[in-house]
Amino acid sequence: MSQLADAWNRGDARAAAELFTEDALYSSPPSPKIHEAQQDLFEWFGGSHGRPKPMLLEWHHLVFDEEQQIGAGEYTFTYEVRTHGMVLVRLCDGKIANWREYEIESPLNWNVLVGKNNF
């Protein structure tokens, strides 16, 4: 997950996409759009020319169930707007096979957003 953040933060779409399986599924409910396959993700992450503006992903908490190969992360993502969210991932052979994120847009920084319940 830190490798993904590093790749996005550098604008390296190829390095980011290579962290996903060839047939990966990436969704953000309730949006019906699902990005399918590593090549689709490469293009969505910016392709060979990169995105017009920088992306910034910061992880706050990461947890992982080794037996099920399922993990979750709480994050802040900035690209044109700031969002805070959670993602569930399923790994297969060390790569992300499934990514499902839920996020909200907020101009607040992380510490202000979570307030007193910051851990």
Closest of 6, 44, 53, 1 to residue 25, by C-alpha: 44
**Dihedral sign, Cα of residue 20, residue 61, residue 53, residue 10:** negative
pLDDT score of 91 = 98
Closest of 55, 58, 96 to residue 74, by C-alpha: 58
Alpha carbon distance 100, 3 (integer Å) = 18
In this structure, CATH architecture of domain 2-117:
Roll (3.10)
Question: What's the whole-model pTM score?
Answer: 0.93
pLDDT score of 97 = 98
Question: What does residue 3 show for φ and ψ, rounded to 5 degrees?
Answer: -65, -40
Mean residue pLDDT of the chain comes to 97
Reported residue count of the chain is: 119
User: 115 burial class (0-12, 13-18, 19+ CB within 10 angstroms)?
Assistant: exposed
Residue 55: both structure tokens together: 């992306």
How would you classify the pairing of strands 20-27 and 34-36?
antiparallel
Confidence class of residue 17 from pLDDT cuts 50, 70 and 90? very high
pLDDT digits (tens, 9 = 90+) for 37-70: 999 999 999 999 989 999 999 999 999 999 999 9
